[in-house]
Amino acid sequence: MAISAIWPKATDRNEHGELTFHGNSAASLLERFGSPLYVMDTDELRARAGGFVQAAAKAFPTATTHVSYAGKAFLSKEVCRIVSQEGMLIDTCSMGEMRIALAAGIPGRRLVLHGNNKSDAELELAIAEGFNKIVVDSPDDPERVASIARRLGKRARVMVRVTCGIHAGGHEYISTAHEDQKFGLALLPAGADPKIFDVLDGLGKGCGNSAQTVPTTVGDTDAAADTGADADADGRNDAIRYPYDVGDVKPTDTELALARAMDAVANGPAVAVLKDIAARSNDLELVGIHSHIGSQIHDANAFIQAGQRMMLLRRTFYATDAYVLPEVDLGGGYSVAYTDDEEAMDIPRELARLSEAVATVNKALGMPAPIISFEPGRSIVGPAGVTLYRVGTIKHVALPADTKDDQGHRISQRTYVSVDGGMSDNIRPMLYGANYTVAVAGFAGGADADGAGCMKQTGEDDGSMIARVVGMHCESGDVLVRECRLPHDLKRGDILAIPVTGAYGRTMASNYNQALIPAVVAVSEQDAHLMMRRQTVDDLLGLDVSA
């Protein structure tokens, strides 16, 4: 049983107070594999991957669903095989990620290539291997992809990434659907008022009045002129005319608003690129549209807005080019809890909300259901990972009289606990201001302490001290846990564990100060084994080929 919800379920404490992972104590893992150490619970990873695939299928019972694992979160051959076995495709965005997935035996038809600056070599590999999708990210991508596909005698499957104007995510750097950034193609022309999409909020939610009825058929010139026509039992109103074909019959306010929105979308960059791809059908197969709005998103609200706009784009492109885009990928960004007082997205509940909203607007727009796709990464691998460190220097620092802790309590002293890792193995706190928690996982010289771990963040005299866990690097911002409470008797050589480090830890690791990147060990009910070896000094020297 996990010690709290943010730890892998097979995390526990033994009779000595040491943290264990599937029965393997933290001390035994460090003894075998060294410190610092990334620990990956592959049973937890497998359960999360399979759980998301099942939740998506259940939430969208009348549509085909695809789920791709976002390899940028963390990728290894073993991870590729696990998520693939659980029914996931794999998103890649570099030659390295592509090669790792292929080396794991994942066929091209189960792989996706993303990237705002894809190289010719990456495109050639993706096309030659028959990747499921190549995501078009800029206006010149179609010509480049088509040229390479023609040279290789292949037809490439492509999808267009759209910036739909929805701002979501916990930090500016991980909010990716606003217009002023490097990803995707804008849904609207420059200067267009996004309030034009407000008409989508009421589509299909009622019947019999002009504020809630919508067009459902192309060229429905025989539709009834009565704007108060009743909707049928499924919420559609088949007496409403298509906005581009209203003819001499006075349109409703909703029809006019929807026509304006579609006109704007039809003149936007995304549709222009869709048209370009459609015109290259000998070399390119247009399989759909893609949106990714950010990361660490806690509920479906922003996804619903993005989904509505993507369905409108799909309807608009059908109106302009008579082409039904087969797939709509709504991306990733599903939040996880990094501390006990944070909440993670309830995936089944929020996907069900998203499904209802998307089905409602899509039905109101009169379109067949598309394939619905998702791209989780952090929510799959993040909570499956824990990082272990050895405690080094412990420094007690007296503070000014008016200093307060994060809870607003006055404090006179803070203890800086240095560990044998830091920003080189987890850059997120420094890069994003990300919060983590920490627990005592083991003890120097054996299991002879109580192992209370990180206490509640209170000001009580509970045998703990206010601490800040910091790294060994030459940066004052090299902080792993900004504030926690650790036992007063913590000492050099004790072991600390930071949970929820499976995503964007190892994959963003660096050699700053020429630190060696830690090993990754896989733990499960079966065994504990090395997934990725630790770097060595010989690795560093091997890169330095100067005389």
**Does the annotation list 129 as a binding residue?**
no
Paired with 391 in beta bridges are: 419
Q: Is 428 labelled a binding residue?
A: yes
The rounded distance, in Å, linking the Cα atoms of 149 and 24 is 50
471 is in an annotated binding site: no
What distance in Å separates the CA atoms of residue 3 and residue 452, rounded to the nearest whole number? 11
DSSP string, 65-98: EEEEEETTS---HHHHHHHHHTT-EEEE-SHHHH
- Would you tell me the crossing angle of helices 269-278 and 253-266 to the nearest 10 degrees? 60
Q: List, as one string, the DSSP characters of 477-502.
A: T-EEEEEEEEETT--TT-EEEEES-S
What amino acid is encoded at 4 in this protein? S
Q: Is 179 known as a binding-site position?
A: no
Question: Does 432 carry a binding-site annotation?
Answer: yes
Helix H or strand E segment including 20: strand 19-21
Angstrom distance (rounded) from CA 398 to CA 324: 67
Tell me which residue of 123, 160, 122 sits closest to 278, measured CA to CA: 160
What does the angle CA 66 – CA 71 – CA 76 come to, to the nearest 5 degrees? 120
Asked whether the beta carbons of 485 and 455 are under 8 A apart, the reply is yes
Identify each DSSP E strand in 98-199 by its residue range: 111-113, 133-136, 156-163, 185-186
- Determine whether the annotation assigns residue 475 to a binding site: yes
DSSP letter, residue 323: -
Give the H/E segment covering residue 347: helix 347-364
DSSP annotation string for 207-252: -SSTTT----STT-TT--S-TTPPP-TTS--TTSPPGGG-TTSPPP
Angle, vertex CA 533, rays to CA 531 and CA 534, nearest 5: 135
Residue 412: CB atoms within 10 A of its CB come to 10
Q: Which residues, in sequence order, are CB contacts of 108 under 8 Å at separation 6+?
A: 102, 126, 129, 130, 131, 132
As a whole number of Å, the end-to-end CA separation of the chain is 55
The continuous run of DSSP H or E covering 120 comes out as helix 120-128
CB 510 within 8 A of CB 481: no
According to DSSP, the residues that pair with 284 across neighbouring strands are 156
Please provide residue 365's backbone torsions phi and psi, each rounded to the nearest 5 degrees. Answer: -80, -5
HSE-up of residue 204 (Cα within 13 Å, Cβ side): 18
d(CA 516, CA 510): 8
* 436 assigned binding-site residue: no
* Structure-block tokens of residue 438: 């920490």
Q: Which residues are catalytic?
A: 474
Would you list which residues are annotated within the binding site for substrate? 378, 428, 432, 475, 504
Would you list which residues are annotated within the binding site for pyridoxal 5'-phosphate? 333, 375-378, 504
Would you list which residues are annotated within the binding site? 333, 375-378, 428, 432, 475, 504
